[in-house]
Amino acid sequence: MKTAEIYLEPKQRTLKVIELLEKQYPKAKTALNYTNPLEILIATILSAQTTDVTVNIVTQQLFKKYHTAKDYATADIKELEEYIHSTGFYHNKAKNLKNCCQLIVEKFHNQVPKTMEELLELPGVARKTANIVLYNAYGITAGIAVDTHVTRLSQRLGLTEQKDQNKIEKDLMQITPKEKWMPFTDLLIFHGRQVCTSRKPRCEVCVLNKICPSAFTFS
The CATH code of the domain that includes 87 is 1.10.340.30
Give the structural domain span for 184: 4-29+145-205
CA angle, corner 135, sides to 104 and 180, nearest 5?
155
Is 215 within a domain?
A: no
Model pLDDT, residue 6: 65
User: Same structural domain for residues 24 and 41?
Assistant: no
Among residues 107, 138, 169, the one where a domain terminates is: 138
Distance CA 22, CA 59 (A): 29
Task: Answer for the pair 87, 54: CB distance below 8 angstroms, yes or no.
Answer: yes
Task: Say which of 147, 171, 186, 210 is annotated catalytic.
Answer: 147
pLDDT band at residue 3 using 50, 70 and 90 as cut-offs: low
Distance CA 125, CA 55 (A): 17
User: Same structural domain for residues 113 and 169?
Assistant: no
Is 212 within a domain?
A: no
Tally of domains in the chain: 2
Is there a catalytic annotation at residue 78?
no
Percentage of residues in the chain having pLDDT higher than 90: 94
Among residues 138, 157, 182, the one where a domain terminates is: 138
Would you tell me how many other CB atoms lie within 10 Å of the CB of residue 107?
Answer: 11
User: Same structural domain for residues 152 and 191?
Assistant: yes
User: Same structural domain for residues 122 and 82?
Assistant: yes
User: Same structural domain for residues 15 and 81?
Assistant: no
Alpha carbon distance, N-terminus to C-terminus of the chain: 17
Task: Say which of 29, 76, 93, 128 is annotated catalytic.
Answer: 128
**In the predicted model, is pLDDT for residue 115 greater than 80?**
yes
User: Same structural domain for residues 172 and 192?
Assistant: yes
Model pLDDT, residue 219: 65
CATH number at residue 16: 1.10.1670.10
Distance CA 173, CA 143 (A): 7
Is there a catalytic annotation at residue 147?
yes
